[in-house]
Structures are given as C-alpha cells and as structure tokens.
Chain A
Amino acid sequence: MKQFKLTMTAGLLASALAFTPVVAATPDNILVVAQNIDDIVTIDPASAYEFSSGEYVANTYDTLVRYDATDTTVLAPALATDWSVDADAKTVTFTLREGVTFHSGNPLRGEDVVGSWTRVVALDKAPSFILTQLGWTNDNIADMVTTEGNTVTVRYEGDFAPSFVLNVLAARPASIVDMETVMANEVDGDMGHAWMNKNSAGTGPFSLQTYRPADILSLSANPDYYQGAPKMERVVIQHNPEGATQRLQLEAGDIDMAKNLDPGQIAGLEGAEGVRVETFPQAAVHWVSFNQKVDALTDPAVWEAARYLVDYNGMADGMLKGQMEVHQAFWPEGFPGALTDTPFSYDPEKAKQILADAGVETPINVTMDVISAPTFVEMAQAIQASFAEGGINLEIIAGTGAQVITKYRARTHEAMLLYWGPDFMDPHSNAKAFAFNKDNSDDKYASTTTWRNAWMPPAEMNAKTMAALGEQDAEKRLDMYMELQKETQAEAPFVIMFQAIKQVAMRKNVKGFVNGATSDYVFYRLVEKE
C-alpha cells in the first residue's frame, strides 16, 4: 500500500512537471466570479439580509442617497439629487433625479419611493427594523412619507441626528423598487414578494438575468443606468463553496475572481501568473463576550483580565494574517468616529494580578461557543490557550451558525466568540449593540450584544448612546461615539479584538472592482478588463 502511494505521488508529480497549466480566458465583456452564495435566503430588497444578497441588491437597486462605488466612505446623491433637512420639524425633503428609469423602462416616480418603503414596513421581513427605527408603522407610513411632484418628504419620530436619518435611508431595505411592475405581479396579497425572489425591479446598473439558489446568479448590464452603462455586459456569479477549487478555476482562467480563498490558498497564489490579490478592510469586528447570567463571569475584574489574555498581535500576524487586523473598539477603523487606540496587549502576568487583586478565585472554568468554520475554530483554540495562561479555562463548543445563534438568542451560552457588522453605516448601529440596553428582562428580546449577554450598561452609558443619536452637531456627535467606545473598552463584558479584512483574488486584467466595508458596498459597475 505504501509503495502504491509512493508510486501514485511520483506519477502525480511527474504529470505536474510534464505539463504546463492550461489557461483559458473568460470573454472580455463578461465577469465570471466564483463565490459561495448558499447564504442567500431571498433577493427581494425588502427581505434580503445576507451577505451575498446584500451584494446583489447593491448592484441592482439604488437608494435616494448612498455610499457610491466611486467613494464608499462618502454619502452621495443617488436617486435624489439634493435634500434639505428641517431638524425642528423632523423632516427631510428629497428632490428626485430626472430621467431615471427602472429595468422595465418605467420612469422613477415619487410614488415608487413611497410604495417601496410602505412595502418594507407592511411585509415586516428581517431588515424592516432598519426603517421602522424612524417611527414608521403600517398605520402612519402614509403620513410619514409623502410625495408631490418631483419631491419626497420624509418625516421621522425621535431625536435623531440628520446624518443618522440619511444613513438609514441609504441602507439596503430603503432600496427603491418599480412599484408598478412589482404590484402587477402580486399573488395572494404578497406585494410581489414571490416574484421579486426571481426577478429584479430596480434602477441599478445591473438587472437579474438568472438566479438559481446555490447554483448561479447572473446579472445583465443596464444600458440606461443613470451613471452610465457598466463596462461588463454580464456578471456571472457561480456558486462554488470550496476555496481550493476556486483557486484552480482562477489559475486556469475559467473565472475572473475568487471570493472565498483562505489565507493558505491566498498564500499559494503568490507568484501565480496572471493573478493578483486585492485587500479590502471590512466593517465587521470580532470579539469574545461574557454572559452575565453566569456567576463566574460577572466580576468586572474577569472582563479586564480577559482583555490582557488575547495574543492580539501574535494572532493577527500569524494565523489571521491577511484576514484580520487588531482593533479594540466597537466602531471599525476607516469610518468617522472610530477609536483606533489599542490599549490592550497580551500580558498574562498582569491578568493574573488583576484577578488576584480583585480576589477572584482561579481557575475559572466556562464554556465558549463558536461557529464551526475554519477561522473561528482556530481563533477559539488560540484564545483558549492564552486564556488558560491567566487561569481562565475555556471549553470550546463548536456548532453550526444556526445552532450558535439559537443559543445566543436564548442567552444560554457562557462565553461567546462571534462578530458584529453594522446594519448601516452609522456609528449608532454599533453603539446600540455594544453600549445600550433598554430593558434587560428575559422577555424584552433585543438583537444587541448587550441584551444577549444579559449585560445592563450603566445608566449614563445608555443615556450617552441616546444623546449621541440625537446630537445635531456632526463633529460633537463623533466625539461622543469616541467616548462611548473608550467607556465600553473599560467597562463592558466584551473583549473586542479584531477588524476583518477581505482578500479577493482576481485575474490581473480585471480592474475597477470595489469592495467596501460591508456587502452593501460591493460594486461591479466600474469593473473593466484590460
């Protein structure tokens, strides 16, 4: 058997040496992407809430204002050319862009804006909470969003900074759909939801050509796009969950872009002919949290000690190289209001001293849940080893994403290794998650990191979060978020460790791909092949 294996290996190597890779090429007008797209549940912007569906919506729909492909950090006019804010009256009035048409050829109207948002609220799907934050309900939406001629007036309830309102209206569920077409395809009062899971009805640079779940998602260029037709006539996203075969396809020239390569596969591409790797900072932050329903984890000294029990640099420079960088605050670097200080470093002696000074008995034995995916499990193992140095023994419980989230939502975990990405690009999206908890009761469910870890922030922190939300002075508002980040660094039962980085491997002739901080900012419209 051993001899057979040796012979086979020799045969493989001989074949490898005897033949050079066969490199095909994709057509100049088609971008072929290999990507794991089995996370998509729906592609209707009123319900799309996954990474891959976010990318799809970003390329087929537009919002009134948006973070555009040309600069994903600046909120720019999109379907609205300008807007005025009346903070006292709590209204924003938008002027719609002239001459914009939907994929069907129908012109964009104010009624489409009103109808699109009314539809999101009425359907009440997963992302609807982003819009209903503005105080919109089924009963009042007709009064809260109105149109006249070429303008749309938005009213909101609550003390919100104008920038917050605009950021909400730039989010995915605020996408404008062709209401005439959508409602023409309504079945059993579903407001066209079933039809929208198989078709697109937007104004975006691409329209949907084919979608088969976990198989293929193909887009056709919109020649009438108001910012100019995309260079690529088609973008074909082939489902391929396996990074190793994505790499083979890329090297063979059968695809232009591989989206799910792990660090080892990226490293293996070094020196590969005709291939390059681009790196994009992401908004997701990764952390360990401690459930306050677990007695052993309620002492703030444990939280503080834990912050010195992560080998931040060792992990970032080693196993997470190219995937994550050290970041210790809740709002990601690269966005206004982000705190970039990294006050904690790996120091087990200091951690032990903190625990001893506080009279905490060691060892502390707790479980830590983690999603059973390659990077997460490796991170958990590294954290397990470094925590043990300080007297905190973690027993790792790996489960599927659905299992881990089910447990987390029920608040039955002990420690948790997970990540958080903002729902929309406003610091409040993360501040609300890490520094605010309205009611910590078991029956007052909230999808925040605070509630899920049964942690009630100090009253001042809660108040400060809401004050920042309503602060009208933009500069002062950002300062308030910086302060909140400092406070959570010092006082919360979270150890925020890293900010994600995305690496995309592509053929060298592919230019202009934009991958912003979240899936909502992945754009294909500027891609061209040289």
Chain B
Amino acid sequence: MTDNNGEGRLSLPPWIKTTVLTIGSIAVTMLGLLFITFIIGRVMPIDPVLAIVGERASQSTYDAVYLELGLDKPLVVQFLYYLWDVLHLDFGTSLLNARPVSEDIARVFPATLELATLGIFIGIVLGVPLGVLAAVRKGSWIDQIARVLALVGYSMPIFWLGLMGLLIFYGILGWVGGPGRVGIFYVDVVPSVTGLILVDAAIDGNWNVFKDAFSHIILPASLLGYFSLAYISRMTRSFMLEQLSAEYVTTARVKGMSEWDVVWKHAFKNIRVQLITVIALSYANLLEGSVLTEIIFSWPGIGSYITTALLSADMNAVLGGTVVVGLIFILLNIFSDLLYKVFDPRAR
C-alpha cells in the first residue's frame, strides 16, 4: 500500500502498531532479563556440576556431567542454546531434582498464586478503606492507628511475625492449620485441576478439603495481606490527601454535596489510576514469592524454589523461574495499562 504522495510508506492501523510495539517490548525485556540472569548464574562462585554429582563423585562422572551440561562451550553459545530451547518452551531439567523445570514451575507457581491472590485481596479490602479513612480523618485516632499498623508492617521482620502467628493461632489457640497447604488427611485427596487447592476442592465439591486448605492458607495469606495493607493504606492516604485539598473538592463541599459523595464519588474516583499501579506492584511482589513466608509455613512456592535453585547454581530452574516472574510483571503492567484506559478517558 502507498499513500497519495507515492512515498511508499506503510500505513498500518494503530492497533497493529500498538500490538507490535507491545510484543517487541516484551521480547526485548525478556531477552534482557534472561541474559542478565544467565550471566549472574555463570559468574557465581558455585560449580553447577558439583550440585548434581555431589562432592565425592569420580572425575569421569564429573566430566560426563560437565559435557552433558554444555559447560565446555563458550558462554554465548550456551546462552543461545538455552534461548533456542526456551523458544520451544523447553526450560530444561532441574539440576537439583532431575525433573523438567516446566513441571516444577507448574507445581510451585499455583501455590504462590493462591497465596498471593488471597493476600492481595486482604490487603485491598482492608488497606484501601483504611487509607481513605485515615486521609478523611487526618490526625484522628483512626489515622494514628493506620500509621502504627503501616509502620509495624514496614518494620517488623516477617519471619518473627510468622512464627508468632503460628505460635498463637496454631500452637496455642488451634484456630488455624499448621505449616503446609493441607493437613495430612487431605493430601492428594482432590484431583489437581488448577493446582489451586481451594479451587480444586470447590470443583470437586469436597468441602472438607476446602475448609482444611482454607485453615492452612488463612494465616500466611493474612500475613502477606498485612504487609500489602501497610503499603496500600499509606499510599491511599497520601493520594487521598492530595485530592481532598484540591479546589474541586472544596467546591463540591460548598455546593452542599454529602461527605460520602465528596470522598467516594469525586476524590476516590480520581485516585483509582494511581491505586491500580500500587496494587499491581504489590501483587507482582507477592507473586514473586515470599521466601521467608514460604519457609516458615512450609509452602512449596516459587520464591523458595528460585532461591534454593540460585544458591545451588541450578540455572535451568532459576532461568525458568525468572521467565515466569518476568512475565508476571509484564502482564500486570499491560493489565494496569488497560485499566488506566477504563478509568481515565485521557489515557485512551
């Protein structure tokens, strides 16, 4: 197609340009992410062969695995081989458990997804109203409580809070389940459809498993929710204070509009876009996996999977995990952009 001036330029519809740009941006980001992670893995002072064969294997066994891993080839060649496999959706085999990395990720990611989703839900449901209230009642006792909650959330070690939570609600009160995703009676009772135990139990109609799984997830999810709450409520308060001091709010009040409408229909409406960014970031952080929470609660999630792999130079597992986490960030970014357009006409 040529334009009327015969300059030979292609004229593509805007949506195609946007799609191509988005895909290009994702590809470049992922490539960069993979390359950096790959290099970090190779410069770490850990021998990946030893992680597989153990410290007492014979030299011949060591050499065989060294060649099998392709470590005799130049770094760039190793990276290109890896890239080729990834493009074919082959993340390789984990050095640490001799299983396909894709199988491992399919096992650990749903555990993190389930925990993070419930956690962010708690963070939003409690954090947003608390932030709004703290802004509206600035300086009041509600504001002080919100501040203290946020401060504790920021400063208290999650390890300590997790252990105390377990001690009180599990060890002493017996209100919640202990470490692990379900009690011993319910392991593998419902067929795994989604990998999310609550959802699988609901699909199966097995409400005993659902209740047990809920009793196990509620404490770690509340803990993660609390940390999200701390961040979300502080940011919400700050955004709201800015809006509440704007002239249009004063005008609305002067016109006699109810305080509820001023706050929720006008001021809050205008912070939604900023809030989406904050929530998306919080959610993405939770989806990366919270290593300490996963350790304390014996939660087989992606955070401890990647960390253990990294400490043992299991680069296939690390890179596979990195791809997943990178994709999450990118997808949440795209999703946030879409929501901006829904909530803010200027972004369309």
CB of B79 to closest CB in A, whole Å: 21
Contacts known (A38-B308, A212-B300); A405 close to B50, Cβ less than 8 A = yes
User: For the complex, is B112 an interface residue (Cβ under 8 Å from A)?
Assistant: no
Asked if B56 and A129 sit within 8 Å, CB to CB, the answer is yes
A30 closest partner in B (C-beta): B184
User: For the complex, is B304 an interface residue (Cβ under 8 Å from A)?
Assistant: yes
**With A and B bound together, what is the CA distance between A215 and B170 in angstroms?**
20
Asked if B55 and A242 sit within 8 Å, CB to CB, the answer is no
Asked if A15 and B50 sit within 8 Å, CB to CB, the answer is no
B308 closest partner in A (C-beta): A38
A214 closest partner in B (C-beta): B300
Asked if B173 and A22 sit within 8 Å, CB to CB, the answer is yes
Hey, which chain B residues are within 8 Å of A405, CB to CB?
A: 47, 50, 55
Asked if A245 and B179 sit within 8 Å, CB to CB, the answer is yes
Would you list the 10 A-B pairs with minimal beta carbon distance, nearest first? A22-B174, A447-B56, A213-B97, A406-B47, A215-B300, A126-B57, A126-B54, A240-B298, A402-B46, A248-B171
User: For the complex, is A241 an interface residue (Cβ under 8 Å from B)?
Assistant: yes
Contacts known (A241-B295, A409-B50); A42 close to B97, Cβ less than 8 A = yes
**With A and B bound together, what is the CA distance between A238 and B180 in angstroms?**
8
User: For the complex, is B13 an interface residue (Cβ under 8 Å from A)?
Assistant: no
Hey, which chain B residues are within 8 Å of A249, CB to CB?
A: 178-179
24 A–B contacts from the bound complex (CB under 8 Å): A21-B171, A21-B174, A30-B184, A42-B98, A47-B98, A49-B54, A126-B52, A210-B187, A212-B107, A212-B300, A213-B96, A238-B184, A238-B298, A240-B298, A242-B179, A245-B163, A245-B178, A245-B298, A249-B178, A251-B171, A252-B174, A403-B45, A405-B55, A409-B47
Within 8 A of B (CB), among A116-138: 124-129, 132
Hey, which chain B residues are within 8 Å of A528, CB to CB?
A: none
Number of interface residues of A (CB under 8 A): 64
**With A and B bound together, what is the CA distance between A21 and B167 in angstroms?**
10
CB of B191 to closest CB in A, whole Å: 14
User: For the complex, is A367 an interface residue (Cβ under 8 Å from B)?
Assistant: no
CB-contact partner of A124 in B60, B148, B174, under 8 A: B60
**With A and B bound together, what is the CA distance between A402 and B313 in angstroms?**
8
Number of interface residues of B (CB under 8 A): 57
Contacts known (A12-B164, A21-B171, A214-B308); A41 close to B97, Cβ less than 8 A = yes
**With A and B bound together, what is the CA distance between A447 and B54 in angstroms?**
10
Asked if B298 and A239 sit within 8 Å, CB to CB, the answer is yes
CB-contact partner of B187 in A24, A126, A218, A251, under 8 A: A218
Asked if B300 and A252 sit within 8 Å, CB to CB, the answer is no
Contacts known (A41-B98, A214-B308, A244-B163); A447 close to B55, Cβ less than 8 A = yes
Asked if B99 and A213 sit within 8 Å, CB to CB, the answer is yes
Contacts known (A1-B151, A12-B164, A240-B179); A41 close to B172, Cβ less than 8 A = no
Asked if A254 and B61 sit within 8 Å, CB to CB, the answer is no
Within 8 A of A (CB), among B258-310: 295-298, 300, 304-305, 308
Known: A214-B304, A403-B45. 11 other contacts (CB 8 A): A1-B148, A15-B168, A41-B95, A125-B61, A126-B53, A127-B54, A127-B57, A128-B58, A215-B300, A402-B51, A405-B50
Asked if B179 and A40 sit within 8 Å, CB to CB, the answer is no
Asked if B300 and A19 sit within 8 Å, CB to CB, the answer is no
B297 closest partner in A (C-beta): A245
CB-contact partner of B104 in A16, A20, A41, A213, under 8 A: A213
Max chain B Cβ within 10 angstroms of own Cβ: one of A19, A32, A50, A214: A214
Max chain A Cβ within 10 angstroms of own Cβ: one of B53, B95, B185: B53
User: For the complex, is A445 an interface residue (Cβ under 8 Å from B)?
Assistant: yes
B103-142 vs A, CB cutoff 8 Å, 1 = contact: the mask equals: 0100100000000000000000000000000000000000
B100 closest partner in A (C-beta): A194
Hey, which chain A residues are within 8 Å of B96, CB to CB?
A: 41, 213
CB-contact partner of A254 in B47, B55, B183, B308, under 8 A: B183
User: For the complex, is B59 an interface residue (Cβ under 8 Å from A)?
Assistant: yes
**With A and B bound together, what is the CA distance between A34 and B179 in angstroms?**
10
User: For the complex, is A147 an interface residue (Cβ under 8 Å from B)?
Assistant: no
Hey, which chain B residues are within 8 Å of A21, CB to CB?
A: 171-172, 174
Asked if A402 and B52 sit within 8 Å, CB to CB, the answer is no
CB of A232 to closest CB in B, whole Å: 13
**With A and B bound together, what is the CA distance between A132 and B62 in angstroms?**
15
User: For the complex, is B152 an interface residue (Cβ under 8 Å from A)?
Assistant: yes
**With A and B bound together, what is the CA distance between A409 and B174 in angstroms?**
49
Within 8 A of A (CB), among B12-54: 45-47, 50-54
Hey, which chain A residues are within 8 Å of B295, CB to CB?
A: 241-242
A234-273 vs B, CB cutoff 8 Å, 1 = contact: the mask equals: 0010111110110011011010000000000000000000
CB-contact partner of A16 in B60, B172, B297, under 8 A: B172
User: For the complex, is B166 an interface residue (Cβ under 8 Å from A)?
Assistant: yes
**With A and B bound together, what is the CA distance between A10 and B162 in angstroms?**
18
B59 closest partner in A (C-beta): A445
CB of A352 to closest CB in B, whole Å: 35
B95 closest partner in A (C-beta): A41
